[in-house]
């Protein structure tokens, strides 16, 4: 029977997937031929959402940017009939014999999907779908055929390193918690995906929640814990909804609860919603938050493996790490270790966003180069722009210039550039991005998210932000660059947790690669990218201006003059650079240079 | 609605660490955390009111003042920032005549910013209550806000004509 699958992740839904689904549901209800309508998480091609897939006898055909009208066309000709739509309308095609095609085939070509194995393929709200795709087979093996030591050894052999950013070997981490005796131990899943620009965890939780749950149960078995928490951002309501459904279904089927699969092992789970604090991505702050306190980090040691949540031995991994576990146990460590580089085994999920043509989610073997990710898979820059840099690791990371595009993405080579692997967010920047402004943006973020415990993080970041603000306002002073470098080094040295230790990274990496841009702002009072409002002039494009006069009405300093139905003009000697003309124009006619 | 609300609806199970879920249910119910909710939680949990206040003010999710019927969360994450979220936020401020953190006089909209809502490939993005809207420009955003406003006014009229 043919299956029609609508991608219903947050990305699909915000692009209008619900309307497409409703249309298809009405059509399917009235149709004579039997076909089944179902949903899936995001396949990764977020830039083509909403997507509709027709599955038939082992072949998969994807259509992108589907509207309810196009959904009807697809339904009539392809789902009900047997006629594929025109070739250029198919974004991805996988025939039963393994051949692939479609306009977006390059996006999928280099991918190796372990974590995303089920995302976009199964219905995340159906535990049967997960089981049919091999789900809970790893758990069965772990509980019935393996010892705790055996599981930990397998994890060590796989070479899996923590995917939250720090890259600590997962098997080793588990062995620490396993080695500490206590009346209670905890498994914690960090789903507080706080790095702006990263959405891997959201997509996994929305598209394949059982894979995370299964990984956590296996971890519980390995370290001797019978209870786990998933700490998930409140900004991810759909992920929380699907996790709740998945936990209930797993309990019903006996994968959670007492005496799981008759093995004598007990394990249960609870979701805790974050309340909006970036610092809670740091594990000791996260524990404080679960305990109901202000999420402030504490000194380590003692490490969580010894004293974590409620002073009990605790193992904390992130979503993506857990999503790898069941696959590794099921297929074996060697299969996993065959991907990637010598020191960074396996695959990594990246969230491509920013000025990139194909923004979405991809999973590639470790060691794939930045250029391959941005140019080949991501299709380069939108609207034919020029690739300038990629920002990795969010506010803790740094900007890597396009000239270093050959850098393999792994735990050795990325830190060497001054950036960090981070959780996998890659925000691509083009020539229209000002690097000083980017640094200011990240500092503003970390400054407001600093919990305030350490002086250098609390006040040092504020001083750095003030300096960056005056530079972008055209009031930079000659010694500002040196001050930033000194302050940055001190904050890294004197902060307790990862937030402060990495907060200066965006500034330090842009100082390293884009010092000229800082100089241009400070010495020449210009912004080469034309971003910093105080340093650019505002103009009206005569081709686009309709002479409606709205900009002139909105200008607070009467800098815009003109007559109705004729092109208006901005007098930059009066202009207050407030952007009101830009935001009020209905024709995109105001530009900055 | 707050008058017929029973505090017992909050599933306080007496276990440690339930403070944040309790505050979340209070906010879900009232739209913000009123003083009497703090007093009540302090009573049942034994946590001093001052500590509860400390937790509330630490987390950006919690509000001590009511919001409008529709909460706009304008994303200012990295991807949205490089695709022009500053202009988007300025446009909302201009269209609604409020600043970030404020509520419109008619009590319809409250504007907040958020660090990232994870829809980076649709940047720039805003959320209006639980609805996400992506790929915005100042022009399309103004249209969207006006559409929402008209929709809300219509439902208000229908609601009041029903009640009569």
Token pair, residue A466, equals 């003030």
- Which residues numbered 468-507 in A keep a CB inside 8 Å of some CB on B? none
Strand order in the sheet with A35-40: A35-40, A2-7, A52-56, A59-63, A90-94, A100-101
Which residue, among A554, A562, A556, A591, has the nearest Cα to A575 in the 3D structure? Answer: A556
The chain A residue lying nearest B80, using CA atoms, is: A354
CATH architecture of A347-430: Roll (3.10)
Q: Do the chains contact at B79 and A354, CB–CB below 8 Å?
A: yes
**CATH superfamily for domain A127-337:** NADH-ubiquinone oxidoreductase 51kDa subunit (3.40.50.11540)
C-alpha to C-alpha distance for A420 and A393, rounded to whole angstroms: 5
Give chain A positions within 8 Å (CB) of B125: 14
Q: A582 and chain B: CB distance < 8 Å anywhere?
A: yes
Give yes or no for residue A194 having a pLDDT over 90. no
Average pLDDT, chain B: 85
C-alpha to C-alpha distance for A455 and A435, rounded to whole angstroms: 27
What CATH class has A435-522? mainly alpha
Banded pLDDT at B3 (limits 50, 70, 90): very low
Q: Which helix (H) or strand (E) holds B66?
A: none
Maximum distance among all alpha carbons in chain B?
A: 52
Give yes or no for residue A370 having a pLDDT over 70. yes
pLDDT at B2: 42
Q: With pLDDT > 70 as the criterion, what percentage of chain A qualifies? A: 100
Average pLDDT over residues B70-82: 90
* pLDDT digits 0-9 by tens, A221-267: 999 999 999 999 988 889 999 999 999 999 999 999 999 999 999 99
- Domain positions in chain A: 2-109, 127-337, 347-430, 435-522, 537-592
Q: A429 and chain B: CB distance < 8 Å anywhere?
A: yes
Query: What one-character-per-residue DSSP string does A180-218 give?
Result: S--S--EEEEEE---STT--HHHHHHHH-HHHHHHHHHH
Based on C-alpha coordinates, what's the Rg of chain A?
A: 26
SS (H, E, C) A297-309: CCCCCCCCCCCCH
Q: Which helix (H) or strand (E) holds B140?
A: helix B138-163
Q: List, in sequence order, every beta strand (DSSP E) within A160-267.
A: 186-191, 227-232
Strand order in the sheet with A268-273: A268-273, A227-232, A186-191, A314-318
Give yes or no for residue B164 having a pLDDT over 80. no
Which residue, among A422, A220, A212, has the nearest Cα to A322 in the 3D structure? Answer: A212
Pick from B18, B76, B134: which is nearest to A14 by CB? B134
> Which residue do the tokens 């219903």 mark?
A8
CATH architecture of A537-592: 2-Layer Sandwich (3.30)
Strands A268-273, A227-232: pairing kind: parallel
| Pick from A79-83, A206-210, A508-512, B65-69: least confident | A79-83
- Which residues numbered 57-116 in B keep a CB inside 8 Å of some CB on A? 58-62, 76-83, 86-87, 90-91, 94, 114-116
Q: Are A366 and A413 in contact (CB under 8 A)?
A: no
Of B82 and A265, which is predicted with more confidence? A265
- Three-class secondary structure of residue A318 per DSSP: strand
Interface predicted TM-score of the whole assembly (ipTM), two decimals = 0.88
- Strand partners for A54: A4, A61
Q: How many CB pairs under 8 A join A and B?
A: 162
pTM: 0.91
The dihedral region occupied by B107, where left means phi > 0, alpha psi between -120 and 50, and beta the remainder, is: left
pLDDT at A7: 96
Average pLDDT, chain A: 94
pLDDT at A588: 87
pLDDT at B161: 65
Give yes or no for residue B5 having a pLDDT over 50. no
Banded pLDDT at B1 (limits 50, 70, 90): very low
C-alpha to C-alpha distance for A244 and A377, rounded to whole angstroms: 34
What does CATH list as the number for A2-109? Answer: 3.40.30.10
- Strand partners for A428: A354, A390
Q: Do the chains contact at A585 and B138, CB–CB below 8 Å?
A: yes
CB proximity list for B15: less than 8 A, separation 6 or greater: none
- Three-class secondary structure of residue A26 per DSSP: helix
SS (H, E, C) A406-433: CCECCCCHHHHCCCCCCCCEEEEEECCC
Helix axes A209-223, A170-179, angle to 10 degrees: 40
Query: What one-character-per-residue DSSP string does A258-317 give?
Result: SSGGGSS--BEEEEEE--S-GGGGSHHHHHHHHTTS-------SSPTTTS-GGGS-EEEE
Give yes or no for residue B88 having a pLDDT over 90. yes
* pLDDT digits 0-9 by tens, A83-103: 888 888 899 999 999 899 999
- Which residues numbered 532-561 in A keep a CB inside 8 Å of some CB on B? 554
Token pair, residue A63, equals 């259509």
Average pLDDT over residues A331-341: 97
Average pLDDT over residues A525-547: 92
Q: With pLDDT > 70 as the criterion, what percentage of chain B qualifies? A: 87
pLDDT at B4: 37
pLDDT at B12: 53
* pLDDT digits 0-9 by tens, B45-73: 888 999 999 999 999 999 999 989 999 99
CB neighbourhood size of A497 (10 A): 23
Q: Which CATH number fits domain B70-163: 3.30.565.10, 3.10.310.10, 3.40.30.10, 3.30.70.2860?
A: 3.40.30.10
Pick from B16, B58, B77: which is nearest to A291 by CB? B16
* pLDDT digits 0-9 by tens, A343-359: 999 999 999 999 999 99
What DSSP character marks residue A542?
A: T
Give yes or no for residue A19 having a pLDDT over 80. yes
Q: A195 and chain B: CB distance < 8 Å anywhere?
A: yes
Give yes or no for residue B22 having a pLDDT over 50. yes
Average pLDDT over residues A380-395: 92
Q: Which helix (H) or strand (E) holds A561?
A: strand A560-561
Q: Are A460 and A427 in contact (CB under 8 A)?
A: no
Q: At CA B97, angle to CA B91 and CA B100, rounded to 5?
A: 70
């Amino acid at each position: 029977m043919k299956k029609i699958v609508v991608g219903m992740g947050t990305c699909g839904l915000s692009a209008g997937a619900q309307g497409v689904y409703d249309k298809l549901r009405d059509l399917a209800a009235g149709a004579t031929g039997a076909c089944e309508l179902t949903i899936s998480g995001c396949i990764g091609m977020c830039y083509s959402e909403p997507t509709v897939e027709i599955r038939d006898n082992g072949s998969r055909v994807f259509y992108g940017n589907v509207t309810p009208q196009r959904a009807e066309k697809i339904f009539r000709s392809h789902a009900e009939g047997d006629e594929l739509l025109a070739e250029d309308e198919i974004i991805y095609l996988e025939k039963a014999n393994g051949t692939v095609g479609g306009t977006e085939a390059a996006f999928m070509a280099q991918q190796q999907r372990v974590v995303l194995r089920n995302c976009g393929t199964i219905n995340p709200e159906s535990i049967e779908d997960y089981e049919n795709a091999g789900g809970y087979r790893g758990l069965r093996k772990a509980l019935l055929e393996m010892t705790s030591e055996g599981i930990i050894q397998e994890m060590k052999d796989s070479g899996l390193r923590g995917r939250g950013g720090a890259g600590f070997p997962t098997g080793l981490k588990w062995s620490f918690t396993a080695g500490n005796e206590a009346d209670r131990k905890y498994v914690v899943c960090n789903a507080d995906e706080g790095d702006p620009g990263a959405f891997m965890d959201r997509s996994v939780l929305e598209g394949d929640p059982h894979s995370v749950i299964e990984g956590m149960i296996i971890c519980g078995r390995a370290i001797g814990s019978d209870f786990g928490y998933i700490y998930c951002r409140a900004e991810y309501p759909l992920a929380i909804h699907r996790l709740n459904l998945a936990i209930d279904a797993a309990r019903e089927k006996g994968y959670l609860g007492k005496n799981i699969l008759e093995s004598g092992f007990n394990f249960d789970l609870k979701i805790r919603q974050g309340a909006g604090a970036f610092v809670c991505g740091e594990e000791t702050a996260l524990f404080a938050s679960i305990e109901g306190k202000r999420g402030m980090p504490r000194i380590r040691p003692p490490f969580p493996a010894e004293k974590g949540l409620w002073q009990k031995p605790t193992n904390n991994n992130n979503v993506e790490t857990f999503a790898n576990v069941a696959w590794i146990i099921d297929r074996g460590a060697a299969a996993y270790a065959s991907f990637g580089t010598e020191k960074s085994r396996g695959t990594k999920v990246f969230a491509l966003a920013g000025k990139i043509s194909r923004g979405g989610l991809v999973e590639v073997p470790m060691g794939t180069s930045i250029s391959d990710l941005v140019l080949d898979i991501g299709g380069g820059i939108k609207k034919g722009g020029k690739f300038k840099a990629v920002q990795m690791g969010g506010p803790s990371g740094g900007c890597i210039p396009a000239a270093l595009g050959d850098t393999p993405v792994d735990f050795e080579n990325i830190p060497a550039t001054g950036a960090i692997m981070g959780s996998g967010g890659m925000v691509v920047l083009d020539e229209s991005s000002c690097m000083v402004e980017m640094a200011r943006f990240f500092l503003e973020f970390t400054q407001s998210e600093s919990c305030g415990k350490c002086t250098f993080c609390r006040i040092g970041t504020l001083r750095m932000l003030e300096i960056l603000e005056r530079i972008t306002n055209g009031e930079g002073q000659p010694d500002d660059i040196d001050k930033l470098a000194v302050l940055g080094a001190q904050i890294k040295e004197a902060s307790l947790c990862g937030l402060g230790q990495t907060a200066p990274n965006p500034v330090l990496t842009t100082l390293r690669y884009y010092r000229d841009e800082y100089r241009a702002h400070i010495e020449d009072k210009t912004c080469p990218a034309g971003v910093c409002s105080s340093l650019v002039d505002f103009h009206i494009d005569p081709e686009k201006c309709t002479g409606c006069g709205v900009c002139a009405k909105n200008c607070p300093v009467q800098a815009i003059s003109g007559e109705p139905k004729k092109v208006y003009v901005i007098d930059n000697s009066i202009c207050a650079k407030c952007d009101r003309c830009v935001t009020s124009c209905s024709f995109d006619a105001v530009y900055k240079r | 609605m707050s008058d017929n609300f029973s505090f017992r609806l909050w599933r306080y199970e007496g276990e440690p660490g339930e403070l944040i879920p309790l505050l979340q249910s209070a906010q879900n119910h009232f739209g913000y955390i009123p003083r009497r909710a703090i007093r009540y939680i302090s009573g049942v949990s034994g946590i001093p009111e001052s500590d509860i206040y400390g937790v509330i003010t630490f987390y950006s999710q919690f509000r001590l003042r009511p919001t409008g019927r529709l909460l706009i969360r304008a994303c200012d994450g990295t991807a949205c920032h490089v695709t022009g979220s500053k202009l988007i936020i300025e446009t909302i401020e201009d269209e609604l005549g409020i600043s970030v953190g404020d509520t419109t006089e008619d009590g319809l909209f409250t504007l907040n910013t958020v660090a990232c809502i994870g829809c980076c490939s649709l940047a720039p993005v805003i959320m209006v209550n639980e609805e996400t809207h992506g790929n915005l420009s100042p022009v399309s955003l103004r249209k969207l806000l006006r559409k929402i406003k008209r929709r809300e006014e219509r439902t208000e009229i229908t609601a009041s004509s029903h009640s009569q």
